[in-house]
């Protein structure tokens, strides 16, 4: 048995590699983005690859590689069922609705007309989100119809950046001056 691990320092791969070393498990580090990766992976039984939204390349190739590698009978973490809806709130809405999970009521529109029509009878506040983003980035509280309409116009106009540098700066300042971090809340201890 031979395991391939996509080595990306700072990701889960640090621990996975250490685990294999400590437990004498045969592994090899690989780079999933290599042009000849399909040929390379064919000699392995499994692939561990911690990709996420901080690696923009994964959005271009991770799911495609996962589909293809599963077809070869090679086990993956994360496999396609585990990962396809990662960082995709629209996909999650469909999936959780499909299995009747208790998702907070979510709304998605692909036409400006439908979205504006919905606003007419919707109650506020609502939470606006981009499909992508973690750590509350790209999430806003929408208190009025007017604000909702403005966001809809932007969504069907010039759109939104996945990463908003001004918002990021604002968020970092907010955390810096947040009273709850000035001593009232202790760092979480594991008991």
Pairwise CA distance, residues 49 & 74, whole Å? 13
Which of these segments, 58-66, 120-128, 134-142, 178-186, binds another protein (CB under 8 A)?
A: 58-66
Please report, as residue ranges, which positions from 72 to 111 form the binding site for another protein (by CB under 8 A). Answer: 72, 84-85, 88, 90-91, 94-95, 97-99, 108, 110-111
**22 or 36: whose CB is closer to another protein?**
36
122 is an interface residue for another protein by CB under 8 A: no
Binding mask 139-168 for another protein (x = CB under 8 A): ------------------------------
Binding mask 11-50 for another protein (x = CB under 8 A): ----------------------x-x-xxx-----------
User: Which of 60, 103, 122, 185 touches another protein (CB under 8 A)?
Assistant: 60
């Amino acid at each position: 048995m031979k395991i391939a691990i996509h080595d990306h320092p700072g990701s889960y791969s640090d621990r996975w590699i250490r685990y294999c070393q400590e437990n004498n498990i045969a592994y090899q580090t690989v780079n999933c983005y290599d042009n000849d990766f399909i040929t390379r992976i064919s000699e392995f039984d499994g692939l561990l690859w911690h990709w996420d939204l901080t690696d923009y390349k994964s959005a271009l190739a991770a799911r495609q590689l996962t589909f293809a590698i599963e077809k070869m009978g090679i086990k993956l973490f994360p496999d396609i069922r585990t990962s396809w809806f990662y960082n995709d709130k629209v996909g999650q809405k469909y999936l959780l609705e499909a299995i009747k999970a208790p998702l907070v009521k979510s709304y998605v529109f692909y036409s400006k007309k439908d979205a504006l029509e919905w606003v007419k009878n919707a109650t506020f506040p609502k939470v606006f989100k981009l499909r992508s983003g973690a750590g509350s980035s790209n999430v806003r509280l929408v208190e009025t119809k007017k604000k909702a309409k403005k966001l809809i116009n932007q969504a069907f106009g010039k759109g939104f950046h996945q990463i908003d540098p001004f918002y990021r700066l604002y968020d970092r300042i907010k955390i810096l001056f947040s009273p709850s971090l000035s001593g009232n809340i202790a760092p979480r201890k594991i008991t």
